[in-house]
Chains A and B, each alone.
Chain A
Amino acid sequence: MNQTTRTPQHIDVREFHSRARTAIADPKIRKNFRKAMDGLIVKRKDAFEGWDLEALRELGANIRLRALADLPDLLEQLEKKLTDNGVNVHWAIDGDEACRIIRDICVARNAKTVIKGKSMVTEEMELNHYLADHDIEALESDLGEYIVQLASETPSHIIMPAIHKNTGEISELMYEKTGTDLSNDVEYLTASARQQLREKFMNADVGVSGVNFAVAETGTLCLVENEGNGRMTTTVPPCHIAVTGIEKVVGYLEDVAPLLALLTRSATGQHITTYFNMISGSRKPDELDGPEEVHVVLVDNGRSSIYQDDELLDTLRCIRCGACMNHCPVYTRVGGHTYGTTYPGPIGKILMPHLIGLDEGRHLPSASSLCGACGEVCPVKIPIPDLLVRLRQESVDGDKLNPAKVRGHGAKRNALEALVWKGWSWMHARPGAYRFGTTVASRLRKLQPGKLGGWTRYRTAPKLAARTLHERMKERSQ
C-alpha cells in the first residue's frame, strides 16, 4: 500500500483563490458538501431540542475559560496524576519535537508499525509523513481517515475527513488500493475495511491517538468516538501514545459532562457517541489487556503564544466539534481542501495564522463574509467573527493604537490599498468633502462605470440616486 501522505506542507496555502474557483465550478464537490452540511445543521438543531442551549453554551465557555485561567497549574497537576498512574508525560514545544518524541519511543521499542486513531494534532504536525521518513509505517484506522490516507489526501473536515467523497468514489478507491469489489453497498465497504484493519490492530507495535479532554483532577484522557477504532488503538497494541495540544486540559472530571453534551450534539447531532473512552493509566499487573506502556505528549506548537493575548486567547477554547464549518456558507461552497490547511473553515481561519504565520495564512481571515453563523453555533462561544476582524487588522498592520503581534503580521499590507483607505478616511472624516463628493457623484451618475471588477461579474452595478438623502433632507428643512 502506498503510505506516502500528501501533507499540507506540500500545499501552497496562498493558492486559496484558484482552489476556491475550481471547487465552486465542480458540481460534485458542491453537492457533496451541501448535502452533508444541510443534514448536519438539522441534526444539531434537533439534538439540542429541550435544552437551555444558551445556558449550556455559557457553561461550556466558562469551563474552558476557567481551565485556561489555570492552564499552567492544571498541566502540572495532570502530569503528576498521570505519572502516578504509570503514564509517561512528554512536553513538545513544536510539532517537530513532538514527532521526534514519538519516533524515539518507537525506536526504543523497536516498533515498525503504528496504528492511529483520529487525531487532528498529529495532522497538524504531519506525523505520518515524519514517521514514514523514518521507516515507520503509520496507518489510519478511523474509516474516514483510512479512506483519505488511501487516496493520499488530507482530511477535508475535522470530524468527517472523507466528507468530500461520495460512495462511488470511495468504492473505486478501495477497489484500486485494497482489492475490494466495486460496490455501492456501504455495509460491504465498511465490513471490508473492518477486516483489513483488524489484522493491522493485532500486529501494530504502537497505537497513537488524540485526546478530546484531559482531566487534571483525576489524570484522565477522554476520547470521543463512534467506531471503536479509538478503543482498539488505545487497548490492543502494547504501547499507546496519546498526543494532545496543551489547551485540551480541563480542571475537573465533572467538566467533561457538559463539554461532552456540547461536543457530540454540535458535531454530528448525536446525544452521545457510541464510545466515551476514559483512560487514566497503563495496564496494572493483574489486568489482562491494555497497553503496558502509555505516553502522553503535550504539544505547544504556537499555543503558548496565542495564550499571551486576551482576545486571541479565545481561540484556545475550541473543543474541535466542527460546527463552525458545518454552518459556514463559505466552507459549504469551497470544501475543506480549498483552505490548504490542517484545520479548514472558520476555526482554521482563526487558528492557522498562529500555526503557520500570518504571512503564509494571510488570505485566510479575508475569506469570510463575517456572517457570524460560526460564532452563533460555537458550543464554547468563541467570538469567531471578532477574531477574524482582529486578524485582518493584524495582516495589514491596521491599528497603531493596538499594534499587531501575530507572527508574520503586516504581510498583506500594500501601499496602494493603504493609500485608498487613507483617501477614503480623509473624505469621510470631513463632512463638507463628503457632501461635495457624493453630490458630484450623483450628478455624474450617468458616467458611472458599468463594470466594477468582481462585483459586476455576477451583478449589475449599484445605481447612484439622482439626489442624495443629504440633499433631500436639506431641501426639506428649508
Chain B
Amino acid sequence: MNSRDTILQRLRERSGGKLHRPDCDFSVLERPSSSVAERVEQFQRTIESVHGEVHRCTPESWVAQLAGILSSRGARNLLIPAAHQIGHALRDSGQDDLPELLIYDEPVVSWQAHLFNNVDASITSTRGGIAETGSLILWPTPDEPRLMSLVPPIHVAVLKASELYTTFHEAMRVQNWMSGMPTNALLISGPSKTADIEQTLAYGVHGPKELIVLVIE
C-alpha cells in the first residue's frame, strides 16, 4: 500500500472510534454596522499603526497627489497595470511630473533582473480593504501580476472607500470567495517588516519598504 492509502486508512480506522464534530459559532466575529467614514477612519488608524501611509483622494485628485508623493521620494519610474483603468488614467492624465511609466506585459523571466534592480515604485488596484486590521485585498491578475506588489521598494495601492469592509470574515463572505479562489490572493497590511533582530522593527526586509494607500472617496 502506498503512503497515501496507509495514512488515510489509519485515519479512517481510528482506534478511538468516530470523533465528535462540534458546532462552530462565528458570531464572535460580527461587528456593529458602521458608516463608510468610520471604516475609512478605522482603516487609516490601523494601517498607520504598522507604518502604512494613507492619502485621502478624490477621483479627480489622486493622479496629482500620486505625482507629488513619488517625486518627493525621487522615484525614477512607476510600474503600472496596462489594462486597468488606473493605468489608463495615468497614461492619459497629461500630468507632466509623473515618473517614467512602465508596464508589466511580458513573463517575468525575460525582465526579472530589471524588475528587481531598477524599478522604484509600482501601483496596483485592490479588491477592497479591511478596516479592523488595516488590510488591503489584492487578487493579482495577468494585468497586475504577483510581483508588482512585492518587488519594487514603494508599493502604491488604490482603494475605493466604498469597498472597505469591517472584518476579513465579512469581506470573504460578501465577495463569495468560497465559490472559487484565484491562483493567488493576498491581504497586505503595511510594508514588509521584520523583528528578527532583537525584536527591533525594520522595514523593507524583502518586500516594499513603503506602502502608500490612496483612498478614493
Decide yes or no: A226 and B192 within 8 Å by CB, A165-B198, A253-B172 being known contacts: yes
Within 8 A of B (CB), among A85-122: 85, 91-93, 97
Given A69-B19, A143-B197, A280-B183, are A186 and B202 also a contact pair (CB < 8 Å)? yes
Number of interface residues of B (CB under 8 A): 80
Asked if residues B134 and A93 are in contact (CB atoms below 8 Å), the reply is no
Inter-chain contact A228/B206, CB cutoff 8 Å: yes
Q: Which of A54-71 contact B (CB under 8 A)?
A: 55-56, 58-59, 62-63, 65-66, 68-71
C-alpha gap A68/B15 in the complex (Å): 14
Contacts A193-B205, A310-B16: A288 and B145 contacting too (C-beta < 8 A)? yes
B150 touching A235, Cβ below 8 Å? yes
**Inter-chain contact A72/B8, CB cutoff 8 Å:** yes
A187 at the interface (CB under 8 A from B): yes
Which of A62, A189, A284 makes the CB contact (< 8 A) with B23? A62
Minimum CB–CB distance for A45 against chain B, Å: 16
Q: Known interface pairs A218-B180, A280-B181, A307-B11. Does A189 touch B197 (Cβ–Cβ under 8 Å)?
A: yes
Query: Are B20 and A69 interface neighbours, CB within 8 A?
Result: yes
- State whether A274 and B177 are in contact (beta carbons under 8 Å apart), knowing that A280-B182, A304-B10 are contacts in the complex: no
Q: Is B196 a contact of A162 with CB atoms below 8 Å?
A: yes
Asked if B199 contacts A288 (CB within 8 A), the reply is no
Pair A278/B181 contact, Cβ less than 8 Å: yes
A231 at the interface (CB under 8 A from B): yes
Q: Kindly list chain A residues whose C-beta atoms are within 8 Å of the C-beta of B196.
A: 142-144, 147, 160-162
Distance in angstroms between the alpha carbons of A228 and B210 in the assembled complex: 13
Bound: A255/B173 CA distance, A? 11
Name A257's contact: one of B167, B181, B183, B197 (CB within 8 Å): B167
Q: Which one of B62-70, B86-94, B104-112 contacts A?
A: B104-112
Per the bound structure, the CA–CA distance linking A43 and B107 in Å amounts to 42
Residues of B within 8 A of A72 (CB): 8, 11-12
Binds A, one of B24-32, B33-41, B156-164: B24-32
* CA–CA, A70 and B193, complex, Å: 37
- Bound together, the chains give a CA A197 to CA B50 distance in angstroms of 24
Residue B48 interfacial (CB < 8 Å): no
Which residues of A are found within 8 Å of B28, using beta-carbon distances? 51-52, 55-56, 59, 258
Q: Is A281 an interface residue (CB 8 A)?
A: yes
Q: Which residue of A lies closest to B153 (CB)?
A: A194
Determine if A167 and B197 form an interchain contact, defined as CB atoms under 8 angstroms apart: yes
Interface residues of A (CB under 8 A from B): 32, 35-36, 39, 51-52, 55-56, 58-59, 62-63, 65-66, 68-72, 75-76, 85, 91-93, 97, 141-144, 147, 160-163, 165-167, 170, 186-187, 189-191, 193-194, 197-198, 201-202, 217-220, 226-229, 231-232, 235-236, 238, 246, 252-255, 257-258, 260-261, 268, 270-284, 286-290, 298, 300, 304-305, 307-310, 313
Closest 6 CB pairs of A and B: A228-B207, A144-B196, A228-B206, A257-B169, A91-B4, A69-B19
Q: 4 more A-B contacts (CB under 8 A) besides A280-B185, A287-B141?
A: A91-B2, A228-B208, A231-B207, A275-B207
